[in-house]
Amino acid sequence: MTTDGDLKKRRAAQAALELVKDATTIGVGTGSTVNFFIEALAAHPGRVRRAVSSSAASSVRLRAAGVVVLDLNELSDLDLYVDGADEASAARHLIKGGGGALTREKIIAAAARRFICIVDDSKLVHTLGKFPLPIEVIPMARTLVARQLMAGGGRPVWREGFVTDNGNHILDVHGLSIADPVALERDLNQITGVVTVGLFAVRPADVLLVGTAQAVLTR
Ligand code: 5RP
């Protein structure tokens, strides 16, 4: 069944395809919105020949769409990265990692010259933090990191049973109201045992494509 949310996601994904006309190798993220983007790639064979993928799940879909999946280390250059988000602010700061692929997503975002984020309008927020902030941690440091997050006022919940593509665990931190995303990202990155913080503020999206019921807004 196709929902209104799916239509909005598909609209944003289609708009991203228009921006990748000249890119032969792109980065591709993870999630249901990105799946619509990969579907759009499959419908336009040859538009993108090669991609770096942020997850095993997206790699499978990309290959099925006829796109060659490369290791980032094989590239000296990455023009464009397309990915979704769990929350996005007007400053194009993001919370990501709902699908657990945040570490590879952050690496690809850092490598890409342009980061295009595709979301439906339910993801737009004034202040980040209603969506629990995913933090990938080294398994043996899980409770150590959790205690420090609690001391900072967060309520970390272990995403039990979930192991990332990198063999790590995820803590989803509830109860944050993120007034200064850049500062919080930097602070959380200092906690020993933290692999990746799902805040994308130090390196925000460059373009936000927001699918609505009527159109696609560009921020
Ligand atoms: C995965 C992500 C996704 O981009 C985020 O969870 C959004 O997913 P969806 O497009 O399914 O709403 O960060 O780690």
| Residue-wise pLDDT tens digits, 54-100 | 999 999 999 999 999 999 999 988 999 999 999 999 999 999 999 99
Ligand 1 pocket test, pick from 4, 9, 30, 133 with the greatest ligand atom count within 8 Å of Cβ, gives 30
Q: Let me know whether 19 and 92 are in one domain.
A: yes
Q: Let me know whether 117 and 30 are in one domain.
A: yes
Distance separating alpha carbons of residues 84 and 30, to the nearest angstrom: 7
Cβ atoms of residues 175 and 185 within 8 Å: no
Q: Let me know whether 100 and 143 are in one domain.
A: no
Is the model's pLDDT at 1 over the cut of 80?
no
> What is the pTM (predicted TM-score) of this model?
0.96
| Domain membership of residue 214 as a residue range | 4-124+203-218
Q: Let me know whether 112 and 212 are in one domain.
A: yes
- Please indicate whether residue 132, judged by its CB atom, sits closer than 6 Å to ligand 1: no
- Please indicate whether residue 193, judged by its CB atom, sits closer than 6 Å to ligand 1: no
Distance separating alpha carbons of residues 206 and 187, to the nearest angstrom: 23
Q: Let me know whether 140 and 99 are in one domain.
A: no
Mean predicted confidence (pLDDT) in 129-138: 98
Distance separating alpha carbons of residues 188 and 20, to the nearest angstrom: 33
Q: Which atom of ligand 1 is nearest to the CA of 83?
A: 4
Is the model's pLDDT at 38 over the cut of 90?
yes
Confidence of residue 121 (pLDDT cuts 50, 70, 90): very high
Cβ atoms of residues 51 and 25 within 8 Å: yes
Q: Which pLDDT value is given to residue 2?
A: 84
Out of 74, 87, 105, 136, pick the active-site residue.
Answer: 105
Q: Let me know whether 31 and 61 are in one domain.
A: yes
DSSP 85-137: -SEE-TT--EE--TTS-HHHHHHHHHHEEEEEEEEEGGGB-SSBTSS-EEEEE
Based on the structure, what is the number of domains in the chain? 2
DSSP three-state, residue 70: strand
Confidence of residue 23 (pLDDT cuts 50, 70, 90): low
pLDDT in tens, 177-208: 899 999 999 999 999 999 999 999 999 999 99
Q: Let me know whether 114 and 165 are in one domain.
A: no
Distance separating alpha carbons of residues 198 and 135, to the nearest angstrom: 6
Catalytic, 105? Answer: yes
Question: Chain-centre distance of CA 154, in angstroms?
Answer: 21
- Please indicate whether residue 212, judged by its CB atom, sits closer than 6 Å to ligand 1: no
Q: Let me know whether 9 and 72 are in one domain.
A: yes
Q: Let me know whether 184 and 212 are in one domain.
A: no
